[in-house]
Amino acid sequence: WLGLDGKTVIVTGGASGIGKHVVETLLAAGADVAVVDLNVETGDDLEGAYCVKCNVTDPDSVNEMMSAVKEKFGHVDALVNNAGINLPRLLVDVKGERPEYELDVKTLDKMFAVNVKGLFLCAQAAAREFVKQGHGVILNMSSESGKEGSQGQSAYSATKGACDSFTRSWAKELGKYNVRVVAVAPGIMEATGLRTPAYNEALAYTRGVKPEELSTDYSKVIPLGRDGKLDEVGNLCAFLVSDRASYITGTTINISGGKSRG
Ligand code: NAD
């Protein structure tokens, strides 16, 4: 039904978490998939997907990745721009107990390097192909915090605000070439690779709770009363990169069980 047979989709950050589930959904729907990640070796097979090792923050690495995918599949039809990192930090550590959890320039730069510069580099490399061939889809992985903000995650949220803004502008620039640009904003999801013990510890401090107290009573904050499943994001992404979503561009779609307002 999705018509993804014969389509090639690149998924950055596809070796873990949400990206991995997007990869599995696309494979099940018949697409050819390239997993682009720091944590794979080029030529590896990941459940039927072709892997390319790439650091999305490095322009040379991104260009080499695009050449490798074109050589393997001959063409590229969609990019799922999903690689991202999240390092929780407070603007000011008022309690003064954990100065390492106060936002500094190095940490800010790290997050913007992957979530904004990496997003841009991959989008540009893909858009060059899409414009030439007269079709293509760029799907940017945002977060509900891009619109809503998030306690202890201001820099991360700012990167996702940039992601939403890029999405709207790129859609305006590329629509005339039959290239769509959309974003997906997950809310509270089941655990992924991003939620390491270090992440949980930092987030808990920024929220004034213990790590084991982080999970909330979802029924109070999420209308559907539960966290989101990774394959639910996979399903949305597979739909959005398919021609079934042919009139959707320039927007960020919430997937948060009704929690996100914007
Ligand atoms: P994850 O840590 O499980 O996966 C991220 C993947 O990106 C990893 O495989 C990692 O190796 C790769 N990666 C990181 N830096 C890279 C780089 N420089 N070059 C290439 N690959 C790199 O994380 P996740 O939770 O699945 O997050 C995926 C995306 O979803 C991110 O953009 C994240 O911001 C977004 N998101 C996650 C949640 C959530 O609750 N997990 C919610 C909203 C949005």
Mean pLDDT per 10-residue interval, the chain, length 262 residues: 97 98 98 98 97 98 98 98 98 97 98 99 99 98 97 98 99 98 97 93 96 86 96 98 98 97 80
Residue of 16, 65, 111, 138 to mutate, ligand 1, most atoms within 8 A of C-beta: 16
Structure tokens at 85: 């990192």
Q: How far is the CA of 224 from the centre of ligand 1 (A)?
A: 24
DSSP 204-247: HHHHTS-GGG-S--HHHH-TTSSPBPHHHHHHHHHHHHSGGGTT
Structure tokens at 198: 């270090």
Q: Is the CB of 37 under 6 A from ligand 1?
A: yes
> How many C-beta neighbours within 10 Å does residue 196 have?
11
Q: Is the CB of 158 under 6 A from ligand 1?
A: no
Give the Cα-Cα-Cα angle 115, 133, 177 (nearest 5 degrees): 70
Look-up of token digits 């309690």: 95
> How many C-beta neighbours within 10 Å does residue 71 have?
8
DSSP 146-189: HHH--TTBHHHHHHHHHHHHHHHHHHHHHGGGTEEEEEEEE-SB
Determine which residue's CA is closest to atom 8 belonging to ligand 1: 13
Half-sphere exposure of 162 (CA within 13 A, CB side): 17
Q: What is the pLDDT of residue 87?
A: 98
3-state class of 10 per DSSP? Answer: strand
Question: Is the sign of the CA dihedral 5, 7, 8, 14 positive or negative?
Answer: negative
Q: What is the pLDDT of residue 261?
A: 83
Q: What is the pLDDT of residue 203?
A: 96
156, 205, 218, 247: the catalytic one is 156
Q: What is the pLDDT of residue 215?
A: 80
Which H or E run includes 70?
helix 59-73
Q: Is the CB of 83 under 6 A from ligand 1?
A: yes
Instruction: Identify the CATH number of the domain defined by range 8-255.
Output: 3.40.50.720
- What are the residue boundaries of the structural domains of the chain, listed by start? 8-255
Query: Which is the closest atom of ligand 1 to the Cα of 18?
Result: 26
* Percentage helix, strand, coil for the chain under 3-state DSSP, each rounded to 5: 45, 20, 35
The set of residues, in sequence order, having a beta carbon less than 8 Å from that of 30 and lying 6+ positions away, is: 2, 4, 5, 6
Structure tokens at 190: 């089941």
DSSP 32-56: EEEEEETTS-TT-EETTEEEEE--T
Q: What is the pLDDT of residue 251?
A: 98
Q: Is the CB of 157 under 6 A from ligand 1?
A: no
Q: Is the CB of 211 under 6 A from ligand 1?
A: no
Q: Is the CB of 17 under 6 A from ligand 1?
A: yes
Q: How far is the CA of 16 from the centre of ligand 1 (A)?
A: 7
Active site residue 247: no
